[in-house]
């Protein structure tokens, strides 16, 4: 199957063509991404209205570039897949309606994709991973452990009860005067920092279970920054290192517990831990997960950075996965600002809100 994927749920306008046979990993024929970082930088975050306008202006060209890079024509593709949520509603509408129009004009089926399912299945595109596996989804809007049992079969084992990790990185960057997007900026500053100078909490580690919390951690950074003001570059680096270390420690311990639950449900398989989403690009967090994998003898799969952050290849790939299961017709599915993964794919025509 060859599928054109379209992603517009946040501040990346992206289109890609991916191909997959009946099983095994996929092939990325093209992967075009235009980040809107420069449009949003002066506001210190994504401005939904600006994002939607930018998507409208450039999406046609991005799709054309993806088709050209892949050297395919409309007759060569089997479906058009687009993010239908969750995300900023203006952008989602632009991408989904564009995909619907292309699908109708080319007489191809439309696949309405849950953006999180794209992150969740990326490891199957890159590594041909078999089900089941334990997924740590860490992105700008989500932080959760999911048992991925099959396409459309996701069970949430634990989640953040407040901020997502990416969000905590972005807010921490902002309060320390670092540029948007915050994740890479905090990671870069942390590189030369001393993680022990500022003691920060490890929220919820003293409580049982796999739920997490990061809002308090961000507030602790704010308090420490206030007490250390005026902040030297050194202090900013040390705060970033301490923050990053605290997040990594929480992920390490909660990951261990999630693995225990996963193994209880799947005692006969060697467990695999997959990390996905934009925060999976963070080296300190990756390193902690690698440590956990070594300690527990679990295989860790972490897709390359460019496929961890938002992209359309992962959306096209969900299209491939859905086509593998049989004919698809999502032409009636509407855009959804909220769309939890564990309550989703199979009931794609439900109300969704």
Give the CA count within 13 Å in the CB-facing half-sphere of 308.
24
**How far is Cα 132 from Cα 11, in angstroms, rounded to an integer?**
31
**How far is Cα 299 from Cα 2, in angstroms, rounded to an integer?**
30
Show contacts with Mg ion in window 79-138 (CB under 5 A): none
Nearest to 10 by CA among 92, 84, 94, 79: 92
| Element housing 280 (H / E) | none
Q: What is the rounded end-to-end Cα distance, in angstroms, of the chain?
A: 31
> Is 316 one of the annotated binding-site residues?
no
Q: Which two tokens stand for residue 266?
A: 């799947």
Q: Which two tokens stand for residue 92?
A: 């989602």
| Contacts with ligand ATP, residue ranges (CB under 6 A) | 9-10, 87, 115, 119, 139-142, 166-167, 169-170, 181-184, 187, 277-279, 281-282, 309-310
> Is 63 one of the annotated binding-site residues?
no
From 2-10, 121-129, 211-219, 331-339, give the range in contact with Mg ion by CB under 5 A: 2-10
Show contacts with Fe ion in window 133-192 (CB under 5 A): 139
> Is 307 one of the annotated binding-site residues?
no
Is residue 122 involved in binding Fe ion (CB under 5 A)?
Answer: no
> Is 59 one of the annotated binding-site residues?
no
Nearer to Fe ion, 140 or 203 (CB): 140
Q: Is 59 within 8 Å of 97 (Cβ atoms)?
A: no
Q: Which residue in 170, 187, 310, 321 binds Fe ion (CB under 5 A)?
A: 310
Q: Which residue in 3, 10, 80, 186 binds Mg ion (CB under 5 A)?
A: 10
Site string for Mg ion, 281-320 (x = CB under 5 A): -----------------------------x----------
- Placement of tokens 């994927």 in the chain: 5
- Placement of tokens 């991408």 in the chain: 95
Cα 151 from chain centroid (whole Å): 17
- Contact set with Fe ion (CB under 5 A): 139, 310
As annotated, the binding site for substrate includes 137-141, 170, 183, 187, 282
As annotated, the binding site includes 115, 119, 137-141, 170, 183, 187, 282, 310
């Amino acid at each position: 199957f060859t599928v054109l994927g379209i992603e517009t749920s946040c501040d990346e306008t992206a289109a890609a063509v991916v191909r997959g046979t009946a099983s095994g990993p996929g092939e990325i024929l093209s992967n075009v991404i235009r980040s809107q970082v420069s449009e949003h930088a002066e506001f210190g975050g994504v401005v939904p209205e600006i994002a939607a306008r930018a998507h409208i202006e450039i999406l046609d060209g991005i799709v054309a570039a993806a088709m050209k890079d892949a050297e395919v024509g409309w007759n060569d593709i089997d479906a058009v897949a687009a993010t239908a949520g969750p995300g900023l509603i203006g952008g989602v509408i632009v991408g989904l309606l564009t995909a619907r129009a292309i699908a109708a004009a080319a007489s191809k089926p439309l696949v309405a994709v849950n953006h999180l399912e794209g992150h969740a299945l990326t490891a199957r595109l890159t590594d041909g991973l078999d089900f089941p596996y334990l997924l740590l989804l860490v992105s700008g809007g989500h932080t959760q452990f999911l048992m991925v049992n099959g396409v459309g079969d996701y069970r949430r084992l634990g989640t953040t009860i407040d901020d997502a990790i990416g969000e905590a990185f972005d807010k921490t960057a902002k309060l320390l005067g670092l540029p948007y997007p915050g994740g890479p900026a905090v990671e870069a500053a942390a590189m030369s920092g001393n993680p022990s100078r500022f003691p920060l909490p490890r929220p919820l580690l003293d409580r049982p279970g796999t739920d997490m919390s990061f809002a308090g951690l961000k507030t602790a950074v704010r308090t420490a920054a206030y007490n250390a003001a005026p902040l030297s570059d050194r202090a900013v680096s040390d705060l970033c290192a301490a923050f990053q270390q605290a997040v990594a420690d929480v992920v390490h311990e909660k990951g261990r517990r999630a693995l225990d639950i996963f193994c209880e449900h799947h005692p006969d398989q060697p467990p695999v831990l997959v990390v996905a989403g934009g925060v999976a690009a963070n080296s300190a967090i990756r390193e902690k997960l690698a440590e956990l994998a070594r300690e527990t003898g679990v295989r860790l799969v972490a897709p390359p950075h460019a496929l961890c952050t938002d992209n359309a290849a992962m959306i096209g790939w969900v299209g491939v996965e859905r086509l593998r299961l049989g004919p698809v017709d999502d032409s009636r599915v509407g855009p959804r600002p909220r769309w939890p993964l564990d309550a989703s794919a199979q009931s794609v025509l439900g109300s969704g809100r």
